[in-house]
Chains A and B, each alone.
Chain A
């Protein structure tokens, strides 16, 4: 349904999207994941014909975004990062306007507006001015606007930002009910979002594709690696945190070291291994050989959060020991 090949988008100075390829089958819900500035919005803007690609191709339902933009636009419902709302319009008036813009005939428009108002739960504000709505309601109106013409493809840029937890669940349900005859791409940095509602995940970082897989596979693929929490204490009182961190980082098989806590001269670290490596014995040996006390060493589970951080941090290929810095760099 959606096909992206070698897509590159360059702004004046930055390369926002760098040679990305992926495909999305009809009826799938796909999560588009990445830290801030990863290039999610940019990719979506290319898919919706808002921005032309610098290189590569993108097509929706077999229509190329550059050659047949009209056909592509007809088939897409798009919720941009900031919902495109006219503050001086009433909700129902706005939805009617967008519906007409998307080519709904005037005979059907009232019915369609009623439907999406119900679906996105904006019935109680339908005669209010959009400018007077709360952030969450604006987001819902934005969503209503995206589905008003019942498009084959939905592209949603952070659809749940600004919503309360109950509403997030409702939106998830809504998206699930839309899947099947709609193809959906949604971007987010909140992982549970993807875990719960998406069949597949596309992870990008700094414009590059990092992983593309089903949620289950991703978790499995990384189950081979382990995470360990350990507490280190120096016999003479205060160990130097950066020294401990350095020593731990050079242990073979370690991909990431994060200091979690330090109190009364005791340092707590979380260490992750590369895939399929066992590091506990080696870690213990390193700590003890350095003359420190090892108070605790226990395995902790890897959450999807960790997986995400690991993927977006280590994809640069540089030794795993630099991982934490890169995570910080990518987060800016």
Chain B
């Protein structure tokens, strides 16, 4: 446990001595901020118009603002996660520091978990920036808290899952850019799987649909925690980290 935290904090600190940590935060802040601005502006206009026409239909901040906004946050993360994970192992392979880690009295799995958690910590910080915006809505409107928390849980699980995949990809190359590119491609594929199969109902398309990361987000974004989805994300994380540990081992054999 001590070793895991040691690696985790080393990675986390590493993000802020290189520009990557700041870049990821700045990008997210800008894009999400813009999304927030448009969403709230639309809401105000809609609300205003509704009043003009004399309708007294209650506005749902949850449905009309928060839900699409957090969905948008998930989409931005799709682009940012490869930036977070690309250097994790690839860079250590390139500079040879992997030799230090692999000859120290620390287990492979501790290295992997530490790195993944370090990335997750940065991801949570980035995601945390959106909390400020969402909190503003709470001061202004009266949205339900529970669905918001559930949606954040979903984003956390989805992020953890993509980060685990990214960590795995990073062990397979010594080139950061390749690692980032492949991670992005794989995430995008998992993202798009649901589109390809949305209108079919064969067994195959059901399987593919099950593998899609977004299908499992739907319930979360509605504010519903379904065990099925939680199990999906957790098993994807487990599977990716397992692959990572196999890949680390084969790294020794190929070296």
Contacts and interface: CB of A to CB of B under 8 A. Distances in A.
A85 interface: yes
Given A73-B103, A76-B103, A101 B3 contact: yes
Interface in B219-255: 252-253, 255
B110 to A, nearest CB: 10
B76 interface: no
A49 interface: yes
A74 interface: yes
Contact of B253 (A48, A52, A98, A102): A52
Interface in A47-61: 48-52
Contacts of A308: none
B96 A80 contact: yes
Interface in B58-101: 95-101
A22 interface: no
Interface string A208-252: 000000000000000000000000000000000000000000000
A101 B104 contact: yes
Contacts of A76: 103
Contact of A84 (B3, B97, B105): B97
Interface string B1-40: 0110010001000100110000000000000000000000
B1 to A, nearest CB: 13
A88 B3 contact: no
B100 A101 contact: yes
Contact of A101 (B6, B252, B253, B255): B6
Given A45-B255, A85-B97, A50 B10 contact: no
B44 interface: no
Nearest to A131: B17
B18 to A, nearest CB: 6
Interface in A106-121: none
Q: How large is the interface on B (under 10, 10 to 19, 20 to 34, 35 or more residues)?
A: 20 to 34
Contacts of B105: 70, 73-74, 101-103
Nearest to A81: B96
Contacts of B106: 101
Given A73-B105, A101-B104, A103-B105, A84 B6 contact: no
Nearest to A49: B103
A80 B100 CA distance: 8
A80 B99 contact: yes
Interface string A23-54: 00000000000000000000001001111100
Contacts of A86: 14, 95, 97
A98 B106 CA distance: 11
B50 interface: no
B103 A48 contact: yes
B46 interface: no
B96 A101 contact: no
Given A73-B103, A73-B104, A101-B104, A88 B14 contact: yes
Nearest to A82: B96
Contacts of B10: 97
A103 B2 CA distance: 9
B207 interface: no
B3 A52 contact: no
Contacts of B98: 84
A93 B207 CA distance: 49
A92 interface: no
A78 to B, nearest CB: 5
B18 A52 contact: no
B95 A84 contact: yes
B198 interface: no
B102 interface: yes
Contacts of A74: 105
B33 to A, nearest CB: 29
A45 B254 CA distance: 13
A85 B94 CA distance: 12
B97 A51 contact: no
A269 B97 CA distance: 47
Nearest to A71: B105
Nearest to A100: B6
Interface in B171-198: none
Given A52-B252, A101-B6, A101-B106, A84 B99 contact: yes
A84 B101 CA distance: 9
B128 to A, nearest CB: 24
A73 B106 CA distance: 9
Interface of B: 2-3, 6, 10, 14, 17-18, 95-107, 252-253, 255
26 contacts: A50-B102, A50-B252, A50-B255, A51-B252, A52-B253, A73-B105, A74-B105, A78-B99, A80-B96, A80-B100, A82-B96, A84-B96, A84-B98, A84-B99, A86-B95, A86-B97, A87-B95, A88-B14, A97-B10, A98-B100, A98-B104, A100-B2, A100-B6, A101-B101, A101-B104, A145-B100
Interface of A: 45, 48-52, 70, 73-74, 76, 78, 80-82, 84-89, 97-98, 100-103, 145
The 7 A-B residue pairs whose C-beta atoms are closest, nearest first, are A84-B100, A88-B17, A84-B97, A73-B105, A48-B103, A74-B105, A101-B104
